[in-house]
Chain A
Amino acid sequence: MHAVELGAGDPVVMLHGLVVGNLASWYFTAAPALAERHRVLLYDLRGHGRSERPRAGYDLETMTDDLEQVLAERGAAGGPVTLVGHSYGALVALRFAERHPERVERLALVEAPLLPGHADDLLGFLKLPEDSMIDALPADLRGALAQGGRRARRLLDGLLGLALETTLLADLAATRPPPDEALAGLTCPVMAVYGTASACLPGAHRVRALLPHARVEQLAGGHYLPLEKPAELSALLVDFTCAPPGATHG
């Protein structure tokens, strides 16, 4: 697994979203601000960025095993870590917290798809006609595709490689939202951040209902908040990770 570290301090692991994400989604957005006070660990999920693209293992259990392996390789398997996840990365973070509640200091879920159907949105996305698929991408990637050339070729190669040469689509189709008890059982401080224009926004209601102590924030934007609202999201994450232990927010 390709991993990068920034800064020093208590560890924060940042997990990106699937298909169009990689560790650069955080590296050039919220990671530097968090690295001023924390040891920030970023890695490319399997099949993404500069990590290998195995045929199988895109289910939550295997991806959570990957997170455990990265922590062990980086010497961060002992003490507690703060986890920040975007989209499917948030589901991996949540699954890790469910497995190891004692190892999670804080949990920040950015655009976590917590209701049925959202993983299917991604499946639908990959089945769209090419023109509609491009409209559904984050703006900077749309720009890269519109310009054509090397970046467009590599982006399409990555999308098609994941869709056609791996079990990603089947694994996503089999993914179920976290059960009520997984959310309600979280004991660490939790922050959930949603975009006001995102299809995942109803997940905020589920967090409020099941986790009354969680901090729920909304930013004007869609699903790709790390790229769309980097400054605003960084400020929220810095505030959340630096708040005194036990502090709660409305």
Chain B
Amino acid sequence: MTVNRDETLAQVADIIREVIGEAWVDETPIGMETSFSDDLELESIEFVALAERLQENYGDSVDFVGWLSQKSLDDIIALRVGELVEHILECAKG
């Protein structure tokens, strides 16, 4: 699977906007440094929805559950969008 960082970031940003589902997020730039907690104020239940949508999108090639299960809730909430994008790129390399 060939994946490109900018394309993956754009896909992840679209999924984040879909999960949040509020008007303000359409106007909010989402980049590699965007913080799920400070910038997007994602709730833990929205993180679950994000993981579900990412799994649907990327299928078994990306292991979100295994990746998330190694982190505490504090670690997860402190994540930046870029860390998620890098994880997807790593998995795509095989």
List residues of A whose CB falls within 8 A of some B CB.
4, 6-7, 22-24, 27-29, 32-33, 35, 44, 49-50, 140, 149-151, 154, 227, 230
Contacts and interface: CB of A to CB of B under 8 A. Distances in A.
| Among A23, A49, A227, residue most surrounded by chain B Cβ atoms (within 10 Å) | A49
A27 B48 contact: yes
A30 to B, nearest CB: 11
Nearest to B71: A28
Q: Which DSSP category, helix, strand, loop or mixed, fits chain A's interface?
A: helix
Given A22-B44, A24-B44, 14 more contacts: A24-B45, A24-B47, A24-B48, A28-B44, A28-B72, A29-B73, A32-B68, A32-B69, A35-B69, A44-B45, A140-B73, A150-B41, A151-B43, A227-B73
A28 B44 CA distance: 8
Interface of B: 41, 43-45, 47-49, 52, 65, 68-69, 72-73, 76
A194 B41 CA distance: 32
Nearest to A49: B45
Contacts of A151: 41, 43
Given A28-B44, A151-B43, A6 B65 contact: yes
26 contacts: A4-B48, A6-B65, A7-B65, A22-B45, A23-B48, A24-B44, A24-B45, A24-B47, A24-B48, A27-B48, A28-B47, A28-B48, A28-B68, A28-B72, A29-B73, A32-B68, A35-B65, A35-B69, A49-B45, A50-B45, A50-B49, A149-B41, A150-B41, A151-B43, A230-B72, A230-B73
